Amino acid sequence: MKGRGSRVRLLGWGAMALVLVGALLVGTLTDGPERSTEDRVYHLASSMKCPQCVSQTVAGSEASIAVQMREEIRAQVDEGRSDEEIRDYFVSRYGETVLLAPPTSGISLFVWALPALGVAVALGAVLLVIRGRRRAAGAGLSERDRAIVDEALARRSSGQP
Q: What's the confidence (pLDDT) of residue 1?
A: 46
pTM for the structure as a whole: 0.49
Residue 101 in contact with residue 46, Cβ under 8 Å?
no
CA distances from 115 to 20, 112, 128 (A): 16, 7, 20
Query: Cα separation of 101 and 49, whole Å?
Result: 10
The whole-chain average pLDDT of the chain stands at: 84
Specify the amino acid at residue 98: V
* pLDDT tens readout for residues 3-62: 666 777 788 888 888 888 888 777 666 555 567 889 999 999 999 999 888 889 999 999
